[in-house]
Amino acid sequence: MSGVTILVIEDDPAVSQAVAIGLAGYGFTPQVAATGAEGYRQAVGVPAPAVVLLDLGLPDEDGLALCIRIRAASAVPIIILTARGAEHEKVSALESGADDYVTKPFGLRELLARVRVALRHNVARAGPPPPMIRIGELWISLDHRQVARAGTPVHLTPTEFALLAALVHNAGRVCTHRMLLQTIRGAGYGADTALLRVYIAQLRAKLEPHAATPRYIQTEPGVGYRLTGWDEG
């Protein structure tokens, strides 16, 4: 990870300082910007950062607007830092091109996990997807549409498989309700979260060792779902 530049756009010096020290301790090279204008300049500048951490409450610019501006100019992964905990804000940020979010106050491990997932997806975007994906005790072949749990094949309906494929493509990253619904039903089904809950419940029943305490498909309240367990494999 040495030399990988992470841009921290955060107006509170106390937070940005701690984040910068934390990232530096793991060999990243942190860059700090205290305003939206400065942040945008560094985000799209040369050398480009590998990941952008963006605080939504900036002094000079709306965080969401900045997120859209950066996304329009660059494919750099954006992780939102939000102190407000408002779910609708997270959803709008994710739909405006952000890749993930961390809710303040956050621990170093949580932040590092998000940064690593973002970096991995940035690399994965370049090459072809691997033929077999292992997450915990799950083996998933997206090409052959086959799934096995602890060596036993699991039968999934086409919708369940589409849902799982969407989660696998974004493994470790949050997927919003709308994003998942559009994957399985096409555009126009963005609001029917009850339907999504039914499919997720079916998927959990087939894949999770204990459906009540899911290990792979985590609920992100008010936002969506996240496939975790990748790092353990």
Partner 1 sequence: MPHLLARIGRQSPAVLLLVALLLLAGIGWIDVVTPLAVEPLYLLPISLATWAGGRGGGLVWAGGSAAFLILADFTSRGYATPLLPLWNTLINFSMFLCFSLVLSWARTLTRERLQQEQDRAALLARTDALKTELLQAVSHDVRTPLAAIKTSITILLDTEGHWSSTSQRTLLEGINEQCNRLTRLVGQLLDISRIDGGMLQLERDWYALDEIVPRVIAQLGSVLAAHPVQTACAPDLPLIWLDFTRIEQVLTNLLENAAKYTPAGTPIAVTAHVAEEWIWVCVQDGGPGIPAADRAGLFAPFAARRVPGRPLGTGLGLSIVRGIVVAHGGQITAAPPPDGGWVVQFTLPLGRPGAGPSAARRLQASPGAADGPARSSLPQPQPES
Give the residue, chosen from 6, 8, 9, 15, that forms a contact with partner 1 under the rule CB under 8 A. 15
Binding-residue pattern over the window 150 to 189 for partner 1, x denoting contact by CB under 8 A: ----------------------------------------
Q: Is 2 exposed, middle or buried (0-12, 13-18, 19+ CB in 10 A)?
A: exposed
Report the site for partner 1 in 35-54 (rule: CB under 8 A): 35
With binding defined as CB under 8 A, does residue 116 bind partner 1? no
Q: Is 3 in the site for partner 1 (CB under 8 A)?
A: no
Least separation in angstroms between residue 60's CB and partner 1 is: 6
Smallest distance from partner 1 to CB 21, Å: 5
- The answer to the question of residue 109 lying near partner 1 (CB under 8 A) is yes
Range in contact with partner 1 (rule: CB under 8 A) among 55-63, 119-127, 141-149, 167-175: 55-63
Binding-site member from 74, 87, 104, 120 for partner 1 (CB under 8 A): 104
- Residue placing its CB nearer to partner 1 in the complex, 11 or 87: 11
